Amino acid sequence: MPGAGPVTRPGERATVRLRDGGPKEPPRYAPEWLELRERADAAARAQDLLDPLRIRWAAGPRRAGGLVVHDLGCGTGSMGRWLAPRLDGAQHWVLHDRDPYLLHFAAVACPRSAADGSPVTVETRRGDVARLTPDALSGASLVTASALLDVLTREEVEALAGACAGAGCPALLTLSVAGRVELTPADPLDAAMTEAFNAHQRRSGLLGPDAVTVTCEAFAQRGATVRVQPSLWRLGPEEPELTEQWLRGWVGAATEQRPELREHAERYLHERLAACAAGELRAVVHHSDLLALPQPMDGAS
């Protein structure tokens, strides 16, 4: 998907479909892009949101089998690799994705021990994460996802919030695009590119940079307490390949949305890539992390 990562090249495997929409539905990410962005994702996620989760779990009944975490659109499993070692106690991770290749990779690469050395187990479920139900989350301690909300529709976010609320299950939903990019050095075309990219993210009813606001409203309407923290990608000389690939995808999506920008985009991209190669380009790509704590159900953790 242009804008979500590099455009797929011949021979690459495009993957991770959200819904069974037929051949016209674009895939979210290629595995190469997921691997490339994992370190930046890990550095960006808002660790402060974990403390309210720990307080919630400590106040609830203790589960004999430990925490049960459902990771939606798990991709290559980066969320589990980030989160499982930061939590104490036994954990069972349920990985959801439509791609069996990614599910296998995520399961193999899932951590096997928690922060305190307790065991971490894993299972996989192939299916459509955009059609989650409370029954599918029965017994869940937490729902997680990364870079998911902005590629959902309002109806799908409502369904996600309803499923979590119906199961009394908290949700930690990270790295949703916020619609802001800060580039150094600045260029007069930055604002137009940002505006066009944001419009591209909203195409076909997808929420794009409106996702966090809509999700907050959906959970709050169901009685949940919602917290939001910034999660910033800081790109530059330390991540030259990621910076280059992000820049190509960002400009590509913007010009796809507004073809009239192409007249100036070639010069813009050439200069930006040259600055990247010289170690002179820096970008702050704004994302948001969201924690929703629904009203607990009787017996739920």
Q: pLDDT, tens digit, for every residue of 120-139?
A: 999 999 887 767 889 999 99
State CA 6 to chain mean position distance: 16
pLDDT of residue 301: 44
- Mean pLDDT computed over 215-238: 97
In terms of Cα–Cα distance, which of 109, 105, 110, 152 is closest to 132?
A: 152
Strand partners, 173: 145, 290
Higher pLDDT pick, 10 / 147 = 147
Q: pLDDT, tens digit, for every residue of 218-228?
A: 999 999 999 99
Residue with tokens 């990608």: 233
pLDDT of residue 202: 96
pLDDT of residue 129: 72
d(CA 236, CA 240): 6
pLDDT of residue 297: 66
State CA 148 to chain mean position distance: 4
Q: Report the 10 Å Cβ neighbour count for 99.
A: 22
Q: pLDDT, tens digit, for every residue of 135-173?
A: 999 999 999 999 999 999 999 999 999 999 999 999 999
Longest pairwise C-alpha distance within the chain? 62
- pLDDT of 16 > 60? The answer is no
Q: pLDDT, tens digit, for every residue of 68-123?
A: 999 999 999 999 999 999 999 999 999 999 888 899 999 999 999 999 999 999 99
Strand partners, 289: 229
